[in-house]
Every structure is written in structure tokens, then in C-alpha cells.
Structure 1
Amino acid sequence: MSANLTRRGFLKLAGAGMAATSLGAMGFGAAEAAEAAHVRAFKLAATTETRNICTYCSVACGIIMYSKGDLAAGEKAELIHIEGDADHPVNRGTLCPKGSALKDYVKAETRLTKPRYRAPGSDKFQEISWDEALDKIARAIKDDRDANLIEKNAAGLTVNRWTTAGFLAASATTNETAWATWKVVRSLGIVGFDNQARV
């Protein structure tokens, strides 16, 4: 440093140093210039994009799921990223902590992927097929409805009420699915019918 540096010269030198470090902090350094010269491919460019609804609560936020693997070619698809859908009118791209952790929920080692059944008196669950599970559910519904359906009230009017079973519908659904659910549940005679949105 020169021994005859004036006050004005010192301020100019300090200002130039501050400008240089500011430009470097904003990404105008040599490394960033070299990075800009080589454009990387967007990491989600080779993935399949699927829009869906978050499975957690009754808000029904929109999500976008990105997966790798060609299902049409028989490959197993692997979920690699989930984010909020910016075009969805409910959440406009935002997700709560539960929605942000959806990928971890899907990839959890403890997640059940097959139906399990615990026989009466047993202390453990056993895996069963989907056909067996649906047959057990259908049989339980039919037996309970046959045993407990109230066909006529005290005045002799036909009411067809089934009061020993209830149904809780999902809130993350479309109007068409909600209409079909309503028709099926009411045609069975179920009186206790509610939606997750009110819970």
C-alpha cells in the first residue's frame, strides 16, 4: 500500500472493493460465469408429470408428482419429486408441512401396500389378496344390512333405513365422484353419512 494514500483515494479503493464483493455475492463471479456458459438440463425434464390431489386433509390442495420410468414399456415408475400445483385454485402452489412430506410418506418403508387381516382372537395380522379383502368387506356389509335394515317405520311407511353402519366420504374428490358416492350410500339405506371436510 502506498504511504501517500489520500483520504479520497482510500474511499475510492474501499468503494471499488465493496462493489466487487457485492457483484461476486450476487453471482457475477468467475465460477458463475463458467456455469452460465454450460447450461445444465432441467432435472425434471426427463420425468413424467402427473397432477393429483393431496391425500391428507379436507382442503384438497393440488399437487404435481414427478416420476421416472416408462410404465408403457413395463418399467416400474419411481416417484422422485412432489410439489404444489401453481395452477390449482385451492392452494396456488403452496403446501402445508404434511403435503410437503408426501414423497416421504409414499416411500416410507413402513407403508402398507397390501391388505392385511387379523382373524378373530388372533394377535397378528396376515397379508391377504385384494380380492379376498373386497370379498370380506362385501360380505360384512351384506350380512349387517340384511340383519339390521329397517324397512318400515311404526306407522307402516316404507323407510329402508340402515342405522347400524355409517359412511365417511373423502373430501379430496370431484363433484361427480361425490354425487356417485351419495347415490350408492343412500341407495343402501345408510343414514349415518358425512364428509371428511366437516370432521
Structure 2
Amino acid sequence: MSRFSPLEWPVFRQLRSGDVLGRGPAVESPRTKAMQSRTATADRMAQSVCPFCAVGCGQRVYVKDERVIAIEGDPDSPISRGRLCPKGASSEQLVNNPLRQTTVRYRAPYATQWQDLDRDTAIDMIADRFLEARRRHWQDVDEHGNPLRRTMGVASLGGATLDNEENYLIKKLFTAAGAIQIENQARI
């Protein structure tokens, strides 16, 4: 280990290098010079959108060894220009939380335990129930013979974590199915 010299004090380095305000490399310690960003070791970076609200702030997702190591604001995003709110800044915890559910869970009526379902079975169950509720509560005409062509057995309550495109597609799907009770949590 080399002996420390007073000539290496930041104030002397400032004067020697002409960095009188102390805003350049003259005031960096050897420890600071050796530091590197936690994202510098990432295998790759993917651009994404924050999942928390419909604003659509851009994110940079850094991955190392097929695991998300950091999520930061994307400076190339015209919406957020590299900034994230506290929720967006903590979204790395969504993917790395050990309590995160990664399977479809189902609890049958009157059952006391949850069971895992494969995705295709769950999708089929949802589709069957959707179509049955639509069929059972379909209203073709009112009491005066005026056309209604709607169902009162299906409703949609969207969330603010969906982006505009997802909400647009949900609105189109439910309208095409004849549902008229379509709302979004952001308006309530």
C-alpha cells in the first residue's frame, strides 16, 4: 500500500489541475474512481413501460443471468424523460419478490384450499363462464320491441395499471360481446 501524500489532498489536486470549483476529477477519491454502476455488469437491457398506471413512463430493465437486477427510468422516453415515481422506481420488486404468484390459482366453490391450474384450463373455464353469463342474461328487445342487443350478465372494471392500448382492446371486446357495464377504476 502506498503512503498517503498531502499533495494528493483534493484541494491541492484542484489547484494543480485548474479545477478551482472542485467539480471535476480532481476531487474524486480512489474509491470513487473505482466504483461502477450496478447496471454496468448487466448482460442486457430491455426497454419497457412501467406497469403501475396508465401514464406509460419508460423504463430500462437490466438483466443479468436471466434475472432482473435493476429498473431505471428511460431517458429516451418522451413521456417521463428518465424519471420514475416512487412506485415505478420500486417495480423491480414486482418481479423479484419471493411471494409473487407465478401460477394460476383456483378455489372451487365451498372449498377451503386453493389449487394450481394450468393456463389453458383456466382460460377455458373463464371463457365458458363468460359465454354462459352472456347467453343467460341476453336482452334482444325491450318490452316495446325496440332492439337492445345487450347483456346485463357481464361487466368490466378495468384498472389504472393497464395502458391505453389494453383498455382500448378491453372496451372493444366487451362492447362486441354486448356488455354495457364497462367502467375503469381511474374514473371512480
Shorter-normalised TM-score: what interval? Answer: 0.7 to 0.9
| Residue of structure 1 equivalent to 2:12 | 20
| Residue of structure 1 equivalent to 2:3 | none
| Residue of structure 1 equivalent to 2:178 | 189
Deviation for aligned residue 1:121: 0.7
Deviation for aligned residue 1:122: 1.0
- Gap change, CA 1:178 and 1:57, over 3 Å in 2: closer
**In percent, how many aligned pairs have the same letter?**
27
1:124 aligns with 2:113: yes
- Structure 2-normalised TM-score? 0.75
| Residue of structure 1 equivalent to 2:100 | 111
State how 1:141-160 maps to structure 2 within 5 Å. 141-160=130-149
Gaps of 5+ in 1: 1-16, 70-76
Instruction: Give, in whole Å, the separation in 2 of the partners of 1:114 and 1:66.
Output: 24
Deviation for aligned residue 1:21: 8.5
Instruction: Give, in whole Å, the separation in 2 of the partners of 1:85 and 1:139.
Output: 41
Instruction: Say which is worse superposed, 182-191 or 157-166, in terms of deviation.
Output: 157-166
Which is greater in Rg? 1
Instruction: Give, in whole Å, the separation in 1 of the partners of 2:176 and 2:124.
Output: 20
Deviation for aligned residue 1:192: 1.2
State how 1:14-93 maps to structure 2 within 5 Å. 19-20=11-12, 28=26, 32=30, 43-44=39-40, 46-69=42-65, 77-93=66-82
| Residue of structure 2 equivalent to 1:173 | 163
Q: How many residues align?
A: 172
Deviations 1:134-188 (A, max 9, x none): 011111101111111111122212211112321134554354x544333221110
Gaps of 5+ in 2: 1-8, 16-21
Deviation for aligned residue 1:101: 1.1
Runs of 4+ in structure 1 deviating by more than 4 angstroms, as ranges, are: 38-43
Q: Contact 1:52/1:62 (CA < 8 Å) preserved in 2?
A: yes
**Aligned AA (2:62):** Y
Q: Contact 2:156/2:174 (CA < 8 Å) preserved in 1?
A: yes
- Gap change, CA 1:54 and 1:196, over 3 Å in 2: farther
Computed over aligned residues only, the root mean square deviation of the Cα atoms, in angstroms, reads 3.2
| Residue of structure 2 equivalent to 1:73 | none
- Gap change, CA 1:126 and 1:137, over 3 Å in 2: same
**Aligned AA (1:66):** Y
